Structure 1
Amino acid sequence: MGLNSSKAMEVNDSVKKFVDSVISDNKVVVFSKIYCPFCSKAKKVLEKYPILDNQYVVLEIEDRDDCNQIQEYLRQLTGASSVPRVFINGNFIGGGDDTVRLDSSGELGKRLEECQALKQKL
């Protein structure tokens, strides 16, 4: 272990539990910042789909006291702390460009359908 390993922010257990529960309790989760253009890009793509309201959470973190800890924990989970961090059915799918790419390939719709996150057609 080098000197840098001691500089990693200690993430408090309540933040870990909060992030884990948001991800596990919802089919679609976006950790976002309102002013971020990549976050806007991801949210705009997801808005094209009829995602169940009670299964879709956009968590705008910039005004939260625990914003830095949330981003650090997301870095530990996903390899990067930048937002957006998009999860479908508990699985990290990427950021803004990744979400757009999955939409373009048809994969995003398939994943949303597979995890039953979409409203049923009448």
Structure 2
Amino acid sequence: MSKEFVEATIRDNKVVVFSKTYCPYCKMAKQQLNKYKGQYKEEPVIIEIENRPDCEQIQAILGKITGGRTVPRVFINGKCIGGGSETKAAEDSGKLKTMLSTAGAI
């Protein structure tokens, strides 16, 4: 069930963040994406996993898909771009906007 949920969420949405509400790196990733609020054709899907009964399974699945179990895991157009630091670096370099635009998210 969790595997199908993760795969379908990534497949069916242009921008997905698997996150935990209290995590500073998750907040960093979401802040970078929030800079484009009002420009999105399709709002990013944020999955806050810490209160889900399948939290551990989701992290294990993310580990298999991306090589890392930690959150955040940010996906644009089905591809993991990394976590909070990578998302911020992409924004700082101007690449995040390009990725979002290429994906048709903005």
- TM category (shorter chain) comes to over 0.9
CA distance in 2, matches of 1:87, 1:51: 15
Structure 2 gap segments, 5+ residues each = none
Q: TM-score, normalised by structure 1?
A: 0.83
Choose which of 44, 56, 71 in structure 2 pairs with 1:68.
Answer: 56
**Following TM superposition, by how much is the alpha carbon of 1:51 offset from its aligned partner in structure 2, in angstroms?**
2.2
Aligned residue in 1 for 2:103: 115
Structure 1 gap segments, 5+ residues each = 1-13
Q: Which has the larger radius of gyration?
A: 1
Question: Aligned residues: percent identity?
Answer: 51
Choose which of 88, 91, 94 in structure 2 pairs with 1:100.
Answer: 88
Q: TM-score, normalised by structure 2?
A: 0.95
> Secondary structure of the equivalent of 2:91?
helix
CA distance in 2, matches of 1:55, 1:90: 15
Number of residue-to-residue matches in the alignment: 104
Equivalent position amino acid for 1:92 in 2? C
1:15 and 2:2 are equivalent in the alignment? yes
1:98-119 CA-to-partner distances (Å, cap 9, x unmatched) read: 000001111110010011101x
**Following TM superposition, by how much is the alpha carbon of 1:70 offset from its aligned partner in structure 2, in angstroms?**
0.2
Choose which of 27, 35, 40 in structure 2 pairs with 1:51.
Answer: 40
